[in-house]
Structure 1
Amino acid sequence: MSANLLALGAIVLWASLAALGVALTHVPPLLLTGLALLVGSLIALPLSRFDFRQWRVPPMTLAVGVYGLFGYHFLLFMALQNAPPVQANLVNYLWPLGIVVMAPLFLPGVSLTSRHVFAALLGFGGAALAIVGGRPMEPGASLWAWGYLPALASAFMWASYSLLTKRVRAFPTAAIGTFALVSGTLALLCHAWLEPSVSLTAKDLALIALLGIGPLGGSFFLWDAALKRGDARQIGVLSFLTPLLSTLVLLTMQREVPSLSVGLAATMIVGAAVIATRKQS
């Protein structure tokens, strides 16, 4: 299978992440993150043909994996529970732009140009529009929701995680199962310490299993396989489809018609990312 098809598979799965997270907002974020990541880790079993040697990674590589998988999804679910979902989701999807803008900080030989600065300003302008203009305001309501902070932090975390994976020793795709297993276990331990216990229904468990098989499991393996097989620049451009697809899924689930401001915000964010990754002629 070609790298671009693998990447598109991951993107389609990621498009359902926010919608599933919203459907499970009553589940504490650490519990949701932990259970879904544990389900996702099981995908590595058939992928590695039950050869656990493929799960082994150096401690530094494991730390990077836990930083990305555990930290990003915990912050994202927290954002979806404490800010309007469509707007928080758009802010979170600044991560493709973050990869481009922060590359000079993480990768040697990469510089930041005026084109990148312009793209960053355009992208953050889109995020601001998503926050202040994406929904009708009720009398006396505040434009700000504190959940936008974890949304922005999640974007930074996934961008930096993606760049840090280029600084560690190469690892087999099956080792993503180790990242998910350790991250899921850590999330459940934190849940037991910090969050109240809750009862989950059969529907909750089914949605969590779907979350783990798809956007918190299968997508990681597809994405890693794509990056190992293809041109990271082309695959990165494909990732800019994710916020558009994700927002469309969210609005469809909530039976909402996209507002002009939400559409413009999404266009600005995606456009900024495309500008930042285009080759100069």
Structure 2
Amino acid sequence: MTRSRATAIGFTAILMWALLALFTIGSAPVPPLLLNALCFGIGGLIGLVWTARRGFGVLRSVSWRVYAFGTAGLFGYHLLYFTAFRLSPSAETGLIAYLWPLFIVLFSGLLPGEHLTARHVTGALIAFAGAALIVLGRDSDGATTAAGLVLAFGCAVTWAAYSVLSRRLGDVPTESVTVFCLATAVLSVVAHLVMEPTVWPVTASGWLAVLALGLGPVGAAFFTWDIGMKKGDIQLLGVASYAAPLLSTLALVLAGIARPSWMLLAAAVLVAGGAMLAAGGRRTGRKT
């Protein structure tokens, strides 16, 4: 698989994550950890279908340490994220949590065979400014707390570390993500029973939103992201990830949930400009 093709596959995860907010709103009033359990359960079923192509024997060749690493990444990030917003439901929390694309760019410079340039860092910072306009411009009904911000920072570092370290597991088949998803679903059920009440979707559209989340943003996206992180342009994908909050807001505008604004246009220019700057320094044509 070429580097450019793997990058394109990884970018489909960003496109799917752009629908995360829209489908999450549609899935109300399901509490976060129960929603996590349902979605990762669906994602795990997708993985079983994916794995069936090569045979389930491929899963036996994967070390338990890899399974522990992947499960900790997926479950740890979402637990920190949901808890951060429960303690501090503010725009500032969202902004701190969205440091993960910048951390991916910075951490990637520590990987063998990768070269971090000033273009990558500058592009990431410009794109982050665009994401900041989106996040800080949203209405916020909650207060900011130090504990919430610390947990948000922790979830940003967790997802960046998971994504970048996945590169070191390039020989591990993407089918392993199936086990990550199923284990995360089980842990989410346990956390749900301990931390929150059980509330199911009340309408057919609510169930459809849960299904859509599991099929895309909290399901298939983790498989395509794994391919992008292991075989694609990791710096470019890190910068391009800032398109997610922008595209998410555009989806909410098209759905009539959010209103268009000049701020949205300015954010689009910054995110696109940062991604184009970072793309200008990438290497192409290498096979992995």
Asked whether 1:256 is paired with 2:275, we answer no
Which residue pairs with 1:54 in the alignment?
A: 58
Which shifted more, 95-104 or 25-34? 95-104
1:48 alignment partner, SS class:
helix
Distance in 1 between residues matched to 2:256 and 2:84, nearest whole Å: 17
Q: Give the aligned residue type for 2:24.
A: G
Tell me how far 1:248 sits from its aligned partner: 0.9
Q: For residue 102 of structure 1, report the CA deviation from its aligned partner.
A: 2.6
TM-score, reference length from structure 2:
0.75
Tell me which amino acid in the other structure corresponds to 2:57.
R
The 1:130–1:240 alpha-carbon spacing in structure 2 relative to 1, beyond 3 Å, is closer
Q: Does residue 31 in structure 1 map to residue 29 in structure 2?
A: no
Cα distance in 1 between the residues matched to 2:211 and 2:179: 18
Aligned to 1:164: 165
Relative to 1, partners in 2 of residues 1:255 and 1:178: Cα closer, same or farther, differing over 3 Å? same
User: Paired residue for 2:195?
Assistant: 194
Q: Which moved more, 1:262-271 or 1:249-258?
A: 262-271
Structure 1 window deviating more from structure 2 (223-232 vs 27-36): it is: 223-232
1:5-16 equivalences under 5 Å are 5-16=8-19
Q: Which residue of 2 aligns with 1:95?
A: 100
CA contact (8 A) 1:92 1:154 kept: yes
- TM-score using structure 1 length: 0.76
Q: Quick one: distance in 1 between partners of 2:9 and 2:123?
A: 27
Aligned length: 274
Does the CA contact (< 8 Å) of 1:61 and 1:169 recur in 2? no
- 1:18 Cα offset (Å): 1.8
Q: How does 1:231-250 map to 2 (within 5 A)?
A: 231-233=233-235, 235-236=237-238, 238-250=240-252
| Structure-2 residue corresponding to 1:68 | 73
Letter in 1 for 2:257: R
Counterparts of 1:156 and 1:266 in 2: how far apart (Å)? Answer: 25
Gaps of 5+ in 1: none
